[in-house]
Amino acid sequence: MKNISYQIKQRNEKITLPEKLGFGVYFTDHMFEMDYSPEKGWYNASIHPINNFCLHPATSFIHYGQSIFEGLKAFKTVDNQIQIFRPDVHIERMNNSARRLCMPELDSEFVLEAMKELIAIDSDWIPTKRGEALYIRPFMFGKEPVLGVRPSRDYKFIIILSPVGAYYPEGFEPVRILAQDKYVRTFRKGMGECKTSANYAASLLAAEEAKELGFTQVLWLDGVEQKYIEEVGTMNIFIHFKDEIVTPKLTGSILPGVTRRSVIQILSEWGFKVNERLVSIQEVMDAYDNGTLVGVFGTGTAAIISSIGLLSYKDKNMVINNGEAGELDLKLFNELTSIHIGEKEDTHNWIFKVEKKEILV
């Protein structure tokens, strides 16, 4: 299947983006959609005006949760070009999620082409201020209307786009994080390494309770002993000790973040010793007590880098770097955002250009 059918919305007036974009509140004019059946493979690929679905009440993902997604970003560069950050790795991760949930794999090259087409068509929606971006949300779900517990036969794959604001409109603000052992998000051999809706459902109550206590997000501890740190909300975590920078190793219960991977590479190139290993909450507390904890930060597509100013566990409140953004965190944030908007050369082949086009149907 290599054809996309187009139905393009005619707009008479120019798009004016709202001043405050927020995150995932506004959507562009079009979406990409295609269907899967075992007989036909992927079929019916189209780009058309964004619309609501009509689904049978027995649609399988609603009941049994076969639902996966990705989140990545496109940017307008300083010289008005359009580019996507590491879409190849995001699509590869989506295929890993698909395999774990018995869902069909995507043709990576075709999905990349479809993504570029959609972005090109809706390129007037890409915001241009530093820190803003066009958030790309590909997702897939089982659509067979049957209540039997087994993988769905049929699936839908969709891409929608949302112009999003800077995560820190008032500057780089450190966040307050609560480590807790009351709930776990996932566990080894579970689905923690997949970007699937179920992991988010499992995380909501802990996040709500943390927010009530005045924290921004939860630091998840491992699912077995609640001893080792795993990740923060929708971000991977890095601990900056005096002699090394550590991020929890990928044991199967942690989402292998694309930002995590990029940050490990940049830090290594800057000459830091970066180790992917198990790190316990006790080790972090000990380092705090003996003065060898330099900083803690999170990494993820939405915020890029998020400084952690307060980390609490049980009754211990660790105020990190006087609650201020770390020097290294800011440097990493600036490095990545400069690559995003083409201020810095892409020396790693992380950037995929989107050709602008006059659409034509």
Ligand X SMILES: *Cc1c(COP(=O)(O)O)cnc(C)c1O
Q: Rule CB under 6 A: which residues touch ligand X?
A: 71, 195, 231, 234-236, 255, 257-260, 299-301
CB-wise, 156 or 260, nearer to ligand X? Answer: 260
Q: Which is nearer to ligand X, 133 or 258 (CB)?
A: 258
Nearer Cβ to ligand X (59/253): 253
Nearest approach in angstroms of CB 157 to ligand X is: 18
* Closest distance of CB 236 from ligand X, Å: 5
Nearer to ligand X, 216 or 299 (CB): 299
Determine phi and psi for 189, rounding to 5 degrees: 75, 0
| Rounded least distance, CB 230 to ligand X, Å | 9
Least CB distance to ligand X at residue 55 (A): 24
In sequence order, what are the residues at sequence separation of 6 or more whose Cβ sits closer than 8 angstroms to the Cβ of residue 113?
A: none
Residue 104's alpha-carbon distances to 9, 41, 151, 155, in angstroms, are 30, 9, 10, 8
How far apart are CB 259 and ligand X at their closest, in Å?
A: 3
Nearer CB in complex with ligand X: 35/92: 92
Across the chain, the runs of DSSP E, i.e. the strands, are: 5-6, 30-37, 41-49, 67-69, 72-76, 82-85, 133-142, 155-164, 175-179, 217-221, 229-232, 235-241, 245-248, 274-277, 293-300, 304-313, 316-319, 351-354
Residue 242 phi, psi dihedral angles, 5° rounding: -55, -40
Distant-in-sequence, close-in-space partners of 41: CB < 8 Å, separation ≥ 6: 1, 104
> At closest approach, how far in Å is the CB of 314 from ligand X?
23
What is the β-pairing status of strands 5-6 and 41-49?
parallel
Residue among 135 and 157 whose Cβ is closer to ligand X: 135
Instruction: Tell me the C-alpha to C-alpha distance, in Å, between residue 197 and each of 89, 184, 201.
Output: 20, 15, 6
